[in-house]
């Protein structure tokens, strides 16, 4: 079970960090407005040229392959609920790297998620 928890933490952190990189990169690009097909292509071109958005996308894609590996090793009914750690990591990384505020409800959510993970792993 310790092995599962280790790999899920790695997976959830990669997934959360990729989200933060995407957010940072896309905030540099600006808003996405769809007025025509050219807007889509120009936005995608800008996203590919932004190193944060590009690296975030690459990290997200690589996390998919890690997830497939985790699923080949462990039961889905245990592994998938543990991915909720990504929510905790996103909140913490957003606070420290993006200077986003966490409200008291966010802290309460983090406590509930970590408590749920504890009860899921208890006596596994």
Average pLDDT over residues 92-105: 95
The answer to whether the CB of 59 falls within 8 A of the CB of 12 is: no
Average pLDDT over residues 101-112: 95
Residue 98 has pLDDT above 80, yes or no: yes
pTM of the model: 0.87
Q: How far apart are CA 92 and CA 100, in angstroms?
A: 9
Residue 2: predicted pLDDT: 66
Residue 43: predicted pLDDT: 87
Q: What is the overall mean pLDDT for the chain? A: 91
- Which residue, 73, 96, 86, is CA-closest to 117? 86
Average pLDDT over residues 44-61: 94
Residue 117 has pLDDT above 70, yes or no: yes
Write out pLDDT tens, residues 7-19: 999 999 999 999 9
- Of the pLDDT bands very low, low, confident and very high (cuts 50, 70, 90), residue 38 is confident
Percent of the chain with pLDDT over 90: 72
The answer to whether the CB of 55 falls within 8 A of the CB of 21 is: yes
Q: What is the CA radius of gyration of the chain?
A: 17
Q: How far apart are CA 65 and CA 2, in angstroms?
A: 20
């Amino acid at each position: 079970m310790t092995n599962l928890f280790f790999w899920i933490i790695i997976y959830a952190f990669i997934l959360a960090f990729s989200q933060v990189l995407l957010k940072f990169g896309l905030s540099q690009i600006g808003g996405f407005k769809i007025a025509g097909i050219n807007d889509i292509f120009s936005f995608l071109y800008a996203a590919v040229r932004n190193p944060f958005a590009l690296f975030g996308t690459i990290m997200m894609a690589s996390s998919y392959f890690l997830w497939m590996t985790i699923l080949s090793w462990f039961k889905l009914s245990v592994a998938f609920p543990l991915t909720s750690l990504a929510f905790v990591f996103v909140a913490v990384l957003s606070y420290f790297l993006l200077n986003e505020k966490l409200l008291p409800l966010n802290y309460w959510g983090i406590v509930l998620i970590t408590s749920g993970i504890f009860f899921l792993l208890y006596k596994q």
